[in-house]
Structure 1
Amino acid sequence: MEPPPLLLLTLLHLLLLLLLSSTTFSATTPTSLPPTPPPTHSPTPTTTPTSPSSSSSSSLDPKQVRALQSLNIPTSKDPCTQLHSNTTLCDAAKPFRHLLSLTLANCSDDVALSFTALKSLSTLQSLHFLNCPIAPIHIPSDLVSSLHSFSAVSSLRRLTGVWLARLQNLTDLTVSYVQVIASGPFVILGNLKKLRSVTISHANLTGNIPKYLNLNLTHIDFSGNKLHGRIPSSVTLLENLESLNLSSNTLSGEIPTSFGDLISLTNVSLSSNSLSGLIPESISAIPGLVHLDLSSNQLNGSIPKFLSDMKSLKHLNLANNNFQGVVPFNVSFISKLEVFKISRNSNLCYNHSVLSSKLKLGIAPCDKHGLPMSPPPAKEDSSADDSSDSDYDDSDEDSSSQSDHHHGPSKVVLGVAIGLSSIVFLIIFLILLSKWCG
């Protein structure tokens, strides 16, 4: 019998190559592709210009409509019903409604607050600026009297203490990332007798914390300024105070021993100052304290064990101080915390028979004398901000298993594919050879 045609052998050879290449490709191609990053959207300003002729359908006072138009705020529909933009809030007066709240956000460079426009808006009780770096404004006396809430965040370029002190009826004041020119907070707060909440942060504010504050204050935030001196003990008279943030200033001296008299406190941050001395034992008397940040100071002595008895505590940061001795906490206390940081305390150590060395505490274990055995490791503390979901460091095992998972299967599959292809080719060759010789 004649040998098989050359074309048949060629086709069989090509079939074998296709089979081999497709098998090899499937063995080396990853099973999943990296996710495509979501599209980014540029923020849409909350204020857009509209035609003045469209204001006839508005039930708002015509003078206030014209004032809004001068600020490029939409008036094509009733501004009092534009709930989607959260720009305005109105009363229910007749025949015309009046503005009670106005928020200006992401202002353009050509926005100007004229005295006439502000005079027309004297019914406002709340006035808020967000990212509106416009020139400082002169507020009419009628508007000064009616305002209960005022905020300026990255807006108005600069403010003076005297200007803010005019807003005598405020219950809520927020000024952040705006330079405030004043000799101290008292210049502002001494005149605001109705104030309940005050935030003056990142404002380059100098001076001391006032010795006398409104006893009805529930929120104080003076963070990110240049305040100096001691924390006055009179602060502890604020029985209604729920939040106190004095972080990132240059405060010195000791924390007042009567600090525990602030029985309503839930959040305290005194971090990044120059405070010294011990943690007052009275803090244990604050029943609802959730957040305590004393990091980056010069506090010393031993860490008090009473902190572990505070049942509401979830965030405890004592890092970067001069604490010494043995950490008095056990695993059950640390595990209930969402944030726990004690690193960068060179004289602090932990009992390795109580706490596992795999806990990333950032301090050394203790020797038999209660002293650090070696320099503290460079790892950060365990906290809710850590990228790892575990308090244990299993990075070596994870990387090893990932390496095996990525490289192992591709080599095995490739070898099997080559072997099967060889067997198929051999069988076909033997069949053809038997027919040719038969």
Structure 2
Amino acid sequence: MKQLITTTLILLLLHLTTTTTTTTTLTLDPKQLAALHSLYIPTTQDPCTHPTTTTCDSTTPFRHLTTLHLTNCPTDLTLSTTTLSTLSTLTTLTFTNCHVTIVHFPSTLTTHLTTFTSTNSLQHLTGVFLSRFTNLTTLTISGDYIKSSGVHVITSNMKSLNNITLSNTNLSGSIPKHWNPKLTHMDLSNNNLNGTIPTSLTLLDTLKNLNLSSNHLTGEIPTSFADLVSLQNLSLSSNSLSGSIPGSISGMTKLVHLDLSSNQLNGSIPRSISEMKGLKYLNLGDNNFHGVLPFNVSFIKKLEVFKVNGNDNLCYNHTSVLKSLKLGIAKCDKHGLPILPPPAADGPGSSADDMSSGDYDDDDGGEKKKSGGGGGNGDDHGPNKVVLGVAIGLSAVVFLIIFLVILSKCGGRCCCCCC
């Protein structure tokens, strides 16, 4: 009997211990529960079980939030310093389509955060405000206006930053020269940045993605870009870059995406680009490149996207590139110059698309083949229509004169006979 009672007590104690452990593990700090409630996040169930919105640590007796994602917020949502102070255990804070006015963030939160994201959300952002997040490894601001004198105001104190996106934020000024050497992602697209691309960027040998498109950048592409040996995606499109493409660009052997379109780049296209075995996307359109396209059919066909249209002085060799590819540039003549398209004919049969395709007549030099009975000028269309018309008219007049002469003679004979 004693043994039975002892066994029962042990089982009961184990059950109570397990229940207590489970309860404490799943219970969020009451102050943070209240903070979530003020942000209109449901708390009827344990918030730690909804990883798309929140994640928690495993501390006892209460768990604490480590990640908070606010998305599609109600229009009457407001942030308060008190609420944010309660959430100082967060390491990741994300706003998506959450249009709220920014307030002062307590230092306990700004120094604890390692990831901060705002996409089409926070209003009245400033560079000074963002610069307080000194321990960030990832900063993403997209579609939110930032009032700042330049990117350097935001990033100069972020020594651990390895992933930055400041896209469509109306930032101006130049691209900072100094970055964390372990940076892997940089997207500063769709801003008002000016100046040249700093050569110091080529020291970032761990950089995998670089997007500086849709700004006002000038100057040339640094020849040392080949040092970006880890780069997989490079977009410098829609700027005012000039000069030629560095031949050394083929040194970026891991490059998959290359977009240099809509600039003022000139010179010939380096043949070495075709040596980039992993390249899948290549856009060189709308520049001032000239000469013969140095790529063959096998290279072009392995690309998922290939664009060279908008380069009026660029042409392709029809012996190495199929006309059916519709490259949007002219075919080369025997001198390596673009064959000019025939003048557009007036009327419903003419089409601008026939010109834009760049696939013109297949004869070298643009010369027409002479037909066997063609006429003196070697034109496919035969004798000039005006000359032909005059000849027919003169023939008709001569025929009429002969007919009248014969008729008059015949009439004279008849008169004599009658007499």
Q: Which residue of 2 aligns with 1:366?
A: 332
**Secondary structure of the equivalent of 1:167?**
coil
Compare 162-171 and 209-218 and name the one that shifted more: 209-218
3-state SS in 2 of match to 1:377: helix
Deviation by residue 1:328-377 (Cα, 9 ceiling, x = unmatched):
11110001000100000000000111112111100010111111102483
1:82 pairs with 44, 47, 50, which one?
A: 50
Gaps of 5+ in 2: 1-23, 342-353, 360-419
Number of positions where the alignment pairs a residue of Structure 1 with one of Structure 2 = 324
Paired letter, 1:166: R
Question: For the residues of structure 1 that align with 2:230 and 2:86, how far apart are their CA atoms?
Answer: 41
Cα pair 1:57 1:78 within 8 Å, conserved? no
Given the alignment of the two structures, is residue 143 of structure 1 paired with residue 109 of structure 2, yes or no? yes
The structure whose RCO (Cα within 8 Å, separation 6+) is larger is: 1
Write the mapping of 1:18-37 to structure 2, written as runs, cut at 5 A. none
Matching of residue 222 in structure 1 with residue 200 in structure 2? no
| Residue 270 (structure 1) shift | 0.1
Q: Any conservation in 1 of the 2:238–2:262 contact (CA below 8 Å)?
A: yes
User: Does the 8 Å contact 2:331/2:358 carry over to 1?
Assistant: no
Q: 1:93 aligned to 2:59?
A: yes
- How far apart, CA to CA, are the structure 2 residues paired with 1:106 and 1:299? 42
> Whole-Å Cα distance in 2 between the matches of residues 165 and 326 of structure 1?
49
What is the aligned partner in structure 1 of residue 240 from structure 2? 274
Q: Pick the aligned partner of 2:70 from 104, 126, 129.
A: 104
Whole-angstrom distance in 1 between the partners of 2:136 and 2:107:
14
Choose the corresponding residue for 1:175, options 141, 149, 152: 141
The 8 Å contact of residues 90 and 100 in structure 1, kept in 2 or not, is answered as: yes
Q: Deviations over 1:106-136 (max 9, x none)?
A: 0111111111111110000000000011111
Change (3 A) 1:380 1:191: farther
Secondary structure of the 2:322 match is coil
Report 1:312-327 matches (<5 A).
312-327=278-293
- Give the TM-score, by structure 2 length: 0.76
Query: In the alignment, residue 69 of structure 2 is paired with which amino acid?
Result: T
Tell me how large the CA RMSD over aligned residues is: 1.6
Cα deviations by residue, 1:397-434 (Å, 9 ceiling, x for unpaired): xxxxxxxxxxxxxxxxxxxxxxxxxxxxxxxxxxxxxx
Conservation of the 8 A alpha-carbon contact between 2:126 and 2:147: yes
8 Å Cα contact 1:225-1:248 kept in structure 2: yes
Correspondent of 1:377 among 349, 355, 364? 355
Alignment check: 8 A CA contact 1:217 1:240 kept: yes
Structure 2 SS opposite 1:295: coil
Task: Give the distance between the partners of 2:170 and 2:96, measured in 1 at CA.
Answer: 19
Q: Which residue of 2 aligns with 1:66?
A: 34
**Of residues 307, 318, 323 in structure 2, which corresponds to 1:352?**
318
Are residues 314 and 67 of structure 1, via their aligned partners in 2, closer, same or farther at CA, if it must alter by over 3 Å?
A: same
Give the letter for the 1:266 counterpart. Answer: Q
The 2-side partners of 1:158 and 1:271 are apart by 29
What corresponds to 1:185 in structure 2?
151
1:203 equivalent to 2:203? Answer no
Partner of 1:131: 97
C-alpha contact 1:58 1:77 (8 A) present in aligned 2: no
Report what 1:249 is aligned to: 215
* 2:303 paired residue among 315, 337, 356: 337
Cα distance between partner residues in 2 of 1:325 and 1:89: 58
Q: Is the 8 A contact 1:57 1:77 kept in 2?
A: no
Which deviates more from structure 2 when the two are superposed, residues 330-339 or residues 353-362?
353-362
Corresponding residue for 1:159?
Answer: 125
Query: In the alignment, which residue of structure 1 is the partner of 2:253?
Result: 287
Match of residue 29 from structure 1: none
- Contact in 1 for aligned 2:168/2:191 (Cα 8 Å): yes
Q: Which runs of 5+ in 1 are unaligned?
A: 1-55, 382-438
Residue 117 in 1 paired to residue 92 in 2? Answer: no
Output the CA distance in 2 between the equivalents of 1:82 and 1:250: 43
In structure 1, how many angstroms separate the alpha carbons of the residues matched to 2:119 and 2:244?
36
Given candidates 207, 212, 233, the residue that maps to 2:199 is 233
Supply the distance in 2 between the matched residues of 1:210 and 1:139 (Cα, whole angstroms).
Answer: 26
Render the CA deviation track for 1:287-306: whole Å, top value 9, x for unaligned: 10110000000000001100
Write the distance in 1 (CA, Å) between the matches of 2:317 and 2:169.
44
Q: Secondary structure at the match of 1:323?
A: strand
